[in-house]
Amino acid sequence: DTAVSQTPKYLVTQMGNDKSIKCEQNLGHDTMYWYKQDSKKFLKIMFSYNNKELIINETVPNRFSPKSPDKAHLNLHINSLELGDSAVYFCASSPPAGYQETQYFGPGTRLLVL
Residues forming contacts to other proteins in the complex (CB under 8 A) are: 31, 33, 35, 40-45, 48, 50, 55-56, 58, 88, 90, 92, 97-100, 102-108, 110
Whichever of 14 and 100 has its CB closer to other proteins, that residue is 100
Task: Please state the closest distance from residue 30 (CB atom) to other proteins, in A.
Answer: 11
Whichever of 14 and 42 has its CB closer to other proteins, that residue is 42
Cα gap 96→49, rounded to integer Å: 10
Whichever of 15 and 55 has its CB closer to other proteins, that residue is 55
